[in-house]
Amino acid sequence: MRCPFCANEDTQVKDSRPTEDNSAIRRRRSCSGCGARFTTFERVQLRELTVLKTSGKKVPFERIKLCLLYTSDAADE
Ligand SMILES: [Zn+2]
């Protein structure tokens, strides 16, 4: 994986461990170019979810939209 700091392609995994709920793998990486350390997450990608809108149109599910919707609902109470 490319280093997000210097764009060097050669980064090494220093440590891999599951997250607390075992739904993802967290990897500590280090860049051999600039020495930066960063973390990546590996998650399961199921087939893309689609949302059927009231208009009958199917659109890709976007988690961020759902979060924003919940946030604005809560703010109205
Ligand atoms: Zn780097």
List residues bridging with 4 in a β-sheet: none
Q: Where are the domains of the chain?
A: 11-42
Taking only the tens place, the pLDDT of each residue in 40-77 is 999 888 777 777 888 888 777 776 666 666 666 655 55
pLDDT attached to residue 6? 97
Q: What's the whole-number mean pLDDT along residues 22-36?
A: 95
- Tell me how far the alpha carbon of residue 55 lies from the centroid of ligand 1, in angstroms: 47
Residue 51, strand partner residues: 59
pLDDT for 34 equals 97
Residues 28, 11 contacting (CB under 8 angstroms): no
| CA 16 to ligand 1 center in whole angstroms | 19
Which pLDDT score is estimated for 55?
86
Residue 42 sits at the vertex; the CA angle it makes with 23 and 24, to the nearest 5 degrees, is 15
Q: What are the C-alpha distances in Å from 38 to residues 20, 43, 70, 76?
A: 19, 17, 31, 38
Query: How far, in Å, from the CA of 33 to the mean position of ligand 1?
Result: 5
Q: How far is the CA of 13 from the centre of ligand 1 (A)?
A: 13
Determine the distance separating the centroid of ligand 1 and the alpha carbon of 36, expressed in angstroms. Answer: 5
